[in-house]
Amino acid sequence: MLRTSFSPRISHIVSKLYENIETRTSESLDWFNVLIAQAIVLFRNDYDFKEALLVYMSDILNGTNKPSFLGHVKVIDMNLGEEFPICSNCRIVSCSSNPERLNAVMDVNLVDQITLGIKTQFLLNYPKYEFAVLPIELSLSIMRFSGTLSISLIPCEKQLNASNIAAFIFSFSPDFQLDIDVHSLVGSRSKLQDIPKISQFLEFRIRNWFMENCVEPHFQRINIPSI
């Protein structure tokens, strides 16, 4: 739950920035959207970044969490989209779990087609390893995302503790919307296209990962060692 009742220290900071935070209207964040859009364009046009991203995604997909029934996963397509996220309705509130911390809360909406295409194999490892191999190609696209994003700064409290460093943390509220489009092609000769069970399984895994890592009370942390 979000609130605007601040601790004395936070109230002092807020009083230097706003005349009355209780009656202040939310911000449109048009300026922020322009900066984010320019940064995204730079990444989309950067060949080295896209190559590094391909390597990064390949390493993740072939990491220790890869199921034993899958062969090597090869990234065959990556489309970073053409549209830009729109942030709006930004307001400053106090964190309900810690009145010493301020949250910047904003609405985020993205309608686009961000696609990852992969090629791999289903492995039947019984009665022996790779007893049978079934080729599969998958295409996963994020078509829309909308949700409420909360960002806050956690200051370093113990300067002598090297492991205690400042960080930005961000998380989304549980009422997010995530629309995913999945296409599959299974087999080598007689190919089966868009099997519903595969789509349902992948959508469940992606949504479940997002909820367990980015949705309140879970969060992502970006350390700031120099603060």
- pLDDT for 159: 47
Mean pLDDT for the stretch of residues 88-92: 91
- pLDDT for 78: 94
pLDDT digits (tens, 9 = 90+) for 150-187: 999 887 665 445 556 788 899 999 999 999 999 999 98
Integer CA distances (angstroms), 23 to 2, 14, 26, 91, 206, in order = 16, 13, 9, 11, 39
Span between the terminal Cα atoms of the chain, in Å? 28
- pLDDT for 196: 92
d(CA 90, CA 219): 19
- What average pLDDT does the structure give for the chain? 86
Integer CA distances (angstroms), 61 to 123, 139, 165, 199, in order = 16, 14, 30, 17
Q: How many CB atoms lie within 10 A of CB 157?
A: 9
pLDDT digits (tens, 9 = 90+) for 152-161: 988 766 544 5
pTM over 0.95: no
pLDDT digits (tens, 9 = 90+) for 34-77: 999 999 999 999 999 999 999 999 999 999 988 888 899 999 99
Cis before 8 (ω within 30): no
200 HSE (CA, 13 A, CB side): 3
Total structural domains within the chain: 1
d(CA 197, CA 179): 17
- pLDDT for 94: 74
Match 């046009």 to its residue by tokens: 45
- pLDDT for 74: 95
With CA atoms as reference, report the closest residue to 201 among 126, 135, 140, 111.
Answer: 140
Instruction: Note down the domain range covering 145.
Output: 2-224
- Residue 217 gets which letter from DSSP? T
